[in-house]
Amino acid sequence: MAKKTVEDLDLKGKKVLVRVDFNVPVKDGEITDQTRIKAALPTIQYIIDHGGKAILFSHLGRVKTAEDKAGKSLAPVAKRLGELLDKKVTFVPETRGEKLEKTIAEMQDGDIVVFENTRFEDVEGKKESKNDSELGKYWASLGDVFVNDAFGTAHRSHASNVGIASTGIPTVAGFLMEKEIKFIGEAVENPKRPMVAILGGAKVSDKIGVIENLIPKADKILIGGGMTYTFFKAKGIEIGTSLVEDDKVELAKSLIEKAGDKLVLPVDSVTTKEFSNDSPTEVHENGIPEDQMSLDIGPETVKLFADTLQGAKTVVWNGPMGVFEMSNFAKGTIGVCEAIANLTDATTIIGGGDSAAAAESLGFADKFTHISTGGGASLEMLEGKTLPGLAAINNK
């Protein structure tokens, strides 16, 4: 369903509420990764260029008690935003009240205000996270229109997204939200074929919904990572001490049956005795020795996956192929990244927080068409679920 975007609004002189995703890592008052702030810039720039008054807000981390507030202020984010835009950004250290209202009333066209972490409203009665209707109404009352650009929160029904939207205030998507919907939405609902999904990560249980949703939609599903061994067990292949979810073996059997030859499992494994980068490694085809665990897909599997990826027009990747955080077990993930990077004329998408981190740390981030900014939200989109934050945006 096509959604209205910020381009569908007349912004001149309007108080524009903007739910951004400024949920960045902050350590000792320093922002350690500003990706999400940068991802919000196109929407903010567009609003101020068109004479809107941009009132920005976001959550940052989890805040349950008054003590949790320490280190969770959006103040450093507002400062960094000002530097990135080379423009004055006014920060209001509260989520409601006279000071905020007065600051907004005094805004000129093109001004930017950031107000405090929306989750500070969770300290008393979880008003933000439980979508307290008074809070949504209050925030909506501060503006004329609402732009939701926080894809990372779209799978949540919170006051700062769904609450504001459900007051009936005109609600549109920002450019980041639009981009995420376009890439992930199209890859799942209407992909250019062949479409290959690469699914890995730690657990089958995290990815069941994705596998089930993609079986009818993908042309091939490549399985790697820790979830492999639950599938191995389902096939009667020895798994040694590898990660396994015994209560998911039956389910794995049924997925294997359902998917038929769409599902491609690893043919070899990089194994070791201990979960450590210092522990010597071996490569085994088929079964894994009793006293060893597999922490990566093997070289033959990388070849098999690269071959299967040949000619793909859409690739969706969710979940690393091995414990990429340790160099001895990163080769499978690197190999798959290389195979994806070598594809010509393919739309390649990463959905998944750790997969995005892997692509980043292994140096492949610029090789992908789209890296989603929302781990949980992209996972739910891949599962085919309706995201409440998205559903609350006005249709075209």
Interface residues with ligand ADP (CB under 6 A)?
200-202, 206, 225-226, 243, 294-295, 318-320, 322-323, 325, 352-355, 375
Residue 353 lies near Mg ion (rule: CB under 5 A): yes
Inter-residue contact 223 to 200 (CB < 8 Å): yes
282 binds, among Mg ion, ligand ADP, none (CB under 5 to 8 A by kind): none
Residues 6+ positions from 186 with CB-CB distance below 8 Å: 347
Residue (225 or 389) nearer to Mg ion, CB: 225
Handedness of CA 177, 178, 179, 185 (dihedral sign): positive
How near is the Cβ of 226 to Mg ion at its closest, in Å?
Answer: 11
Q: Which of 182, 203, 262, 367 is catalytic?
A: 203
Residue (138 or 232) nearer to ligand ADP, CB: 232
Query: How many residues make up the chain in this entry?
Result: 396
How near is the Cβ of 379 to ligand ADP at its closest, in Å?
Answer: 6
Backbone phi and psi for residue 239, each to the nearest 5 degrees, phi listed first:
-120, 0
CB neighbours of residue 94 within 10 Å? 12
Residue (40 or 223) nearer to ligand ADP, CB: 223
How near is the Cβ of 222 to ligand ADP at its closest, in Å?
Answer: 13
Inter-residue contact 40 to 176 (CB < 8 Å): yes
Residue 354 lies near Mg ion (rule: CB under 5 A): yes
Question: In this chain, which stretch among 2-10, 184-192, 294-302, 353-361 interacts with Mg ion, using CB under 5 A?
Answer: 353-361
For residues 331 and 321, what is the distance between their CA atoms, to the nearest angstrom?
9
CB neighbours of residue 282 within 10 Å? 14
389 binds, among ligand ADP, Mg ion, none (CB under 5 to 8 A by kind): none
How near is the Cβ of 298 to ligand ADP at its closest, in Å?
Answer: 11
Residue 380 lies near Mg ion (rule: CB under 5 A): no
Residue (165 or 295) nearer to ligand ADP, CB: 295
Q: Which of 56, 146, 34 is nearest to 107 (CA)?
A: 56
Residue 374 lies near Mg ion (rule: CB under 5 A): no
Q: Which of 61, 376, 384, 385 is catalytic?
A: 376
Q: Angle formed by the axes of helices 353-361 and 375-382, to 10°?
A: 120
Structure tokens at 194: 């062949």
Known catalytic residue at 203? yes
For residues 335 and 74, what is the distance between their CA atoms, to the nearest angstrom?
39
Handedness of CA 216, 218, 222, 224 (dihedral sign): negative
Residue (298 or 352) nearer to ligand ADP, CB: 352
Handedness of CA 334, 186, 379, 263 (dihedral sign): negative
Q: What does the per-residue mask of binding to Mg ion show for 305-344, with x meaning CB under 5 A?
A: ----------------------------------------
Q: What angle do CA 323, 329, 333 make, to 5 degrees?
A: 75
Strands in 145-148's sheet, in edge-to-edge order, are 90-92, 112-115, 53-57, 15-19, 145-148, 171-173
266 binds, among Mg ion, ligand ADP, none (CB under 5 to 8 A by kind): none
294 binds, among ligand ADP, Mg ion, none (CB under 5 to 8 A by kind): ligand ADP
How near is the Cβ of 26 to Mg ion at its closest, in Å?
Answer: 20
Amino acid 341 reads A
Q: Which of 3, 14, 19, 36 is catalytic?
A: 36
Residue (116 or 354) nearer to Mg ion, CB: 354
Known catalytic residue at 36? yes
**SS3 assignment, position 117:** coil
Q: Which of 353, 374, 375, 389 is catalytic?
A: 353
Residue (174 or 319) nearer to ligand ADP, CB: 319
Task: Please list the active-site residues.
Answer: 36, 203, 353, 376
* Interacting residues with Mg ion (CB under 5 A): 353-354
